[in-house]
Amino acid sequence: MAELTLVEAVNRALTHEMERDEDVIVLGEDVGVNGGVFRATNGLLSRFGGDRVLDTPLAEGAIAGAAVGMAAMGLKPVAEIQFSGFIYPTIDQIVNHASRLRNRTCGRLTCPLVLRSPCGAGIHAPEHHSESPEAMFAHIPGVRVVIPSSPARAYGLLLASIRDPDPVVFLEPTRLYRLFREEFADDGEALPLDTCFVLREGKDATLVSWGAATHEATAAADALAREGIYAELIDVATLKPLDFETILRSVQKTGRCVIVHEAPKTGGFGAEIAARICEQAIYSLLAPISRVAGYDVVVPLSRLEKQFMPSVERIASAVRTVMENS
């Protein structure tokens, strides 16, 4: 059993899959000689050579376009975008080509590419290095959106993403890269995509989160338990397609729901989950749904970064409020 950080888990998953399948290609800025801006691809060039680990020019649109072409021709490219704030030039290729290749060719071609990128705030980075664009990608039909919140889930979900025949946007919470270690087997076992993970059972409220914010939600659930409030904690992990059944069962059990995410609140994916709960479980609710999210501003620089991200205190306070409003 290996005890690894999240970034090491990403590296192990890439290594395992490149050994298993010679069609897997890694490409991006500095992924070869330098081993990636966060070292996620460290050692891959020396192990697999320059034909399979490609340093590209500083051109995110070209990286995504090349990946689409490779995927259409039968390869399995894993493209890295150094920071999610630089991911926007890839949108044209993802929306207009990757997401609809299967539909456009009546199933003759698929597009098995993975677009990897660090995401989120918390490392005191400047503008364009702290974005949380998951809702934007989740709006694109034909694209899976995955955000792991632990090393074990990063490993298993990345394996599954590479093996998936359709495009996957794989967002890696930057501040979790080296935050903690987790023990798991480096055995090539993939985790299921499109499945939520129930991290903690509870009876009083449902906490729904994903990515880095899952850790503040966990700490909030710990604090609430000491007060006698037992929250069920769900890590969404795959936002698109959404395993709503797991969330629905939990809300029907607890009657209360607080959704936590780091992206700005307006138009965030929490709004989609809240809307579905209202459509399918409104008579199970004992209190209005609450969202704890980032604010509708550009992610601030380091001095105000913590005020932007959902804190343990804000999450716990939201749960206490839904309890009081019941």
Q: Yes or no: say if 44 and 31 are a contact pair by the CB < 8 Å rule.
A: yes
Q: Which helix (H) or strand (E) holds 79?
A: strand 76-80
Distance CA 240, CA 311 (A): 25
End-to-end Cα distance, the chain: 45
Name, in order, each residue with C-beta under 8 angstroms of 92's C-beta and a sequence gap of 6 or more.
Answer: 61, 64
Distance CA 314, CA 320 (A): 10
Distance CA 187, CA 9 (A): 12
The three-state secondary structure class of 243 is coil
Q: Quick one: CA dihedral 30, 32, 33, 39, positive or negative?
A: positive
Which of 261, 295, 300 lies closest to 128 in space, CA to CA?
300
Q: How many CB atoms lie within 10 A of CB 195?
A: 15
Residue 97: active-site member:
no
Residue 252 has φ and ψ, to the nearest 5°, of -65, -25
Distance CA 313, CA 121 (A): 18
Which of 97, 129, 215, 261 is the catalytic position?
Answer: 129
Q: What is the dihedral of CA 9, 136, 316, 222, to 10 degrees?
A: -20
Rounded to the nearest 5 percent, the helix, strand and coil shares of the chain are: 40, 20, 40
Which of 266, 275, 261, 151 lies closest to 211 in space, CA to CA?
261
Q: Which helix (H) or strand (E) holds 294?
A: strand 290-294
Distance CA 125, CA 119 (A): 11
- The residues annotated with a catalytic role in the active site are 129
